[in-house]
Structure formats: structure tokens, C-alpha cells
Amino acid sequence: MAQSRNVRGCGCVAVLLALVVVGGLWAYFKFYKPVPGPKLPTPSGEELSIHVLDVGQGDAILIVAPGGKTALVDASVPGSGKKILAAMARAGVDHLDLLVTTHAHADHIGGADEVIKGTKVYKVLDSKVPNTTKNYEDFLDAIEGRVENPQENFITAAPGQTFDLGGGVLISVLAPIQPLFTKDQLRSGGNEPNANSVVTRLDYGEFSILLTGDAEAQTEERMMEQGARLAAKVLKVGHHGSKYASSEEFLRQAKFKDAVISCGADNRYGHPSQEALDRLKAAGVKVYRTDLQGEITIKTRATEDYQITTERQAAADELYAGRKAQKDDSAKSGFIQYGDFGPAPKASPKSKATNSR
Ligand SMILES: [Zn+2]
């Protein structure tokens, strides 16, 4: 009798164990999403500096790696070249190993031709989603004229590409993801250059920053679906804090601690929006803004600690207060905003009016 009870007991344990194993395997394959990512280089521990430049209503982010290699992500509006070159001189930088142009709108490639003509640029990484503006043609001409071997060094961005800046600093491309977003797929407020922005991340030991260009929620969703490596310490907020970017789910998944918004003090586009600022605040993300604080500098030695300093001070409540769009004045500004104010204008080729920001 006793022996038979033992046999029955053993059988139950075996069945239970089998259930646990099968259940575990099922859960593993159902919920585990491998996060693709390159093997990160060993950090040198020397200082990396990132300068989010105060260049008005546009983006320009200068990265100086420990070994002296450099990258610039975007070149803001036309006429910004001087400011960017001056910032490079202040940082003791005389060349760019990599220029990332997130997309072909004039608040991102505006000063790119001036930068390419004013310093040595080795590689340009671009979405290759074209634009019909003279500014875009000037950008292409500058590459053709000044970048060595442009067939090889004017690169179409694709997820999985990496750029080693030395000293343990690595830039990885996360988007645009193929097939690119087409016009008919875009949500209200969207446009193809923004939706197909080049999104990169920079990793340096424990430090990381996500650089999103003007990508909005639709692009954030696609990256989440594809299991892109989004978690980072710092976010360069998408589309200057537009209400269409920085979705709640994106902020929840990526767990940013700090966020930098690059926008102009006199912008008429309602950037940053109260909606995006509210979502950042609710997610516990500390916000920095170039329109209120001037140039924002991030320094790190690859540890958990990094320092963010600003050119000017701003009160905490001011930083979470959005700007109001001035719809009536948008047409007079010389820049046409079609992201927030209706359909795209019919831009004639070489038109002076640049485009959405
Ligand atoms: Zn923009």
C-alpha cells in the first residue's frame, strides 16, 4: 500500500514538473522578444561630450568622442553653419567623422551645405527621402563637391548599421525601417520625411541617448513592434516636442531619465506642445529646452553618472509649459508648417518656402 502511494506521488510530481517546463517554454517563445543590438565596445572611461546647440527652431547636436572623433546630428536652419562651426571650434574640433541628416526638412539640413563647405566631413548618413527645395539641392551639391568618394560615403541609413566613434562610443541606426512609410499610410499631421527620419542611438558604457529627428508616434510604434533597442538614459525629443511625438507607450518602454527639446524661442508652431510635455512629466522624465536654457551640454565618462549643464537657467514649471501655435502667422514666416496646419502646400521645385519643421 505504502509503496503504491509513493508511486502515485512520484507520478504527480513528474506531471507537475512537465507542466512547469512546458508552460515555461510556451511563455518564453510567446513573450520573449530578442532585442537586436551590436556588441558594444569597451568604454575607455574618458570624457564624451554632447552639445545640443542653441540654433533656433531646428536641431543640431555635436558629439565629441574621447579619442577626438566627432559626429553632428542635423544642421538646423539655413544660416546656422556659422554657429555650428563656431561651436565646433569651441569644442576644439576641426572635422566631422559623421554627419547625420535625419531628414530633408530645412530645420535639419538647412545649414548642412555650409557645414560641409566649412569643415572636413568624412561620411554623411541620410534617409535619402528627397525634398523639392533649393536647400536640399544645395545640400546634395555640397556632398558631391566636398565629400570624398560620395558614392561610398553618402550612406543610406538602415537599421543595424553602426558607426564606431572610438573610445567605446558607438552610434547605431534604428530607423527608418523598410519598407518606408508612404503618403497613404501617414496619420493626421504626418509627412514622409518626418515619419522616415533617421533614428540613431549612441551608447557609451552605461550612458545612452536616443536621437529621434522628427519621428512621431507612428515611427515610435514601428520601432517598438520591431523590438528596436529604445531604452536609453536620455531622449532627444522627437519633432521638437510636437504633440504627435513622444507617445505614452514609447516613454513607458524606453524609460528615459532626461529629455532634451531643441526648439526656437520665437517658433510659431506650438513646439513644444503641452501634450508632449505632460506625457514626459507623467513618465517622470526631466526636461531640458534650448529655447529657455540655451545650449545644453551632456558629459559622461561611461558610468551611471552623467552631467547635464545649460547655458541659462529656467524655472521648473516654465520647462513643462508648452507653447501655443500661432496659426494666423504661419504663412508669413517663410516656413510652411504642414505637420500641424493641414495638408502639404504644393511646393514648386526650388521654391524658397522651405517646409515642415
Ligand atoms: Zn524639425
DSSP string, 175-240: EPPSSPP-GGGPPTT--HHHHT--EEEEEETTEEEEE-TT--HHHHHHHHHTT-----SEEE-GGG
Torsion of CA 41, 42, 47, 52, to 10 degrees: 30
* CA atoms of 294 and 263, how far apart (whole Å): 10
Give the other-Cβ count within 10 Å of 173's Cβ: 21
How far CA 137 is from CA of 80, 93, 153, 225, in Å, comes to 17, 27, 17, 34
Q: 124 in helix, strand or coil?
A: strand
CA 190 to ligand 1 centroid distance, Å: 12
CA 239 to ligand 1 centroid distance, Å: 5
CA 113 to ligand 1 centroid distance, Å: 17
CA 177 to ligand 1 centroid distance, Å: 19
CB within 8 A of 13, min separation 6: which ones?
none
CA 217 to ligand 1 centroid distance, Å: 15
Taking alpha carbons only, the member of 198, 261, 194, 286 closest to residue 58 is 261
Q: What is the model's pLDDT at position 10?
A: 56
* CA atoms of 197 and 185, how far apart (whole Å): 15
CA 256 to ligand 1 centroid distance, Å: 21
> 307 pairs with which residues across the strands?
299
CA 104 to ligand 1 centroid distance, Å: 9
CA 270 to ligand 1 centroid distance, Å: 12
Q: Is the peptide bond before 179 cis (omega within 30 degrees of 0)?
A: yes
CA 73 to ligand 1 centroid distance, Å: 12
Do residues 103 and 213 lie in contact, with contact meaning Cβ atoms separated by under 8 Å? yes
CA 103 to ligand 1 centroid distance, Å: 8
The beta-strand segments (E) located in the chain are: 48-52, 61-64, 70-73, 95-96, 98-101, 120-121, 124-126, 154-156, 162-166, 169-175, 199-204, 207-211, 234-236, 258-261, 286-289, 296-300, 306-310
- Phi and psi at residue 146, to the nearest 5°: -120, -25
CATH classification code of 48-324: 3.60.15.10
CA 278 to ligand 1 centroid distance, Å: 20
Domain range summary for the chain, segments of one domain joined by +: 48-324
Do residues 350 and 133 lie in contact, with contact meaning Cβ atoms separated by under 8 Å? yes
CA 213 to ligand 1 centroid distance, Å: 7
Do residues 71 and 99 lie in contact, with contact meaning Cβ atoms separated by under 8 Å? yes
Residue type at position 242:
S
Taking alpha carbons only, the member of 179, 187, 139 closest to residue 158 is 179
CA 319 to ligand 1 centroid distance, Å: 19
CA 107 to ligand 1 centroid distance, Å: 5
Q: Which helix (H) or strand (E) holds 22?
A: helix 2-31
pLDDT tens across the length of the chain (357 residues): 445 555 555 565 666 666 666 665 555 545 545 556 788 999 999 999 999 999 999 999 999 999 999 999 999 999 999 999 999 999 999 999 999 999 999 999 999 999 999 999 999 999 999 999 999 999 999 999 999 999 999 999 999 999 999 999 999 999 999 999 999 999 988 999 999 999 999 999 999 999 999 999 999 999 999 999 999 999 999 999 999 999 999 999 999 999 999 999 989 899 999 999 999 999 999 999 999 999 999 999 999 999 999 999 999 999 999 999 986 544 333 343 333 322 333 333 333 333 445
CA 214 to ligand 1 centroid distance, Å: 5
CA 155 to ligand 1 centroid distance, Å: 21
Do residues 310 and 254 lie in contact, with contact meaning Cβ atoms separated by under 8 Å? no
Q: What is the model's pLDDT at position 28?
A: 52
CA 10 to ligand 1 centroid distance, Å: 66
* CA atoms of 293 and 12, how far apart (whole Å): 67
Give the other-Cβ count within 10 Å of 7's Cβ: 8
CA 151 to ligand 1 centroid distance, Å: 27
CA 339 to ligand 1 centroid distance, Å: 10
Q: What is the model's pLDDT at position 349?
A: 37
CA 23 to ligand 1 centroid distance, Å: 47
CA 357 to ligand 1 centroid distance, Å: 4
